[in-house]
A = this chain, B = another copy of it.
């Protein structure tokens, strides 16, 4: 029953922290793109600085199992430590219509 999935992660980041957040996100991305099941990722920044979620990451993975294994790995724990200060709301989705 495995299927391709899309991680959508909503981040609460103060406008003043945007550059720092992007640098931290890149560290985690550089690690995750080496992991089995990674397909691609797009980081979006809100046009309005007062948006509730200033950043939204949309990442495709080959299966929920491979995504889960990647974020459980010590490498992810290390490379994502700098993002822990920001509120994050991740959930897994499937594509239902285009």
Contact = CB atoms under 8 A, between A and B. Distances in A.
B40 A94 contact: no
Given A52-B89, A89-B52, A94 B47 contact: yes
A87 to B, nearest CB: 13
Interface of A is mostly: strand
Q: Which of A43, A52, A93 has the most CB of B within 10 A?
A: A93
A31 to B, nearest CB: 14
B56 A8 contact: yes
A95 interface: yes
Interface residues of A, number: 33
Contacts of A47: 5, 64, 91-94
Interface of A: 5-6, 8, 10, 22, 25-26, 29, 40-48, 51-53, 55-56, 58, 64, 89, 91-98
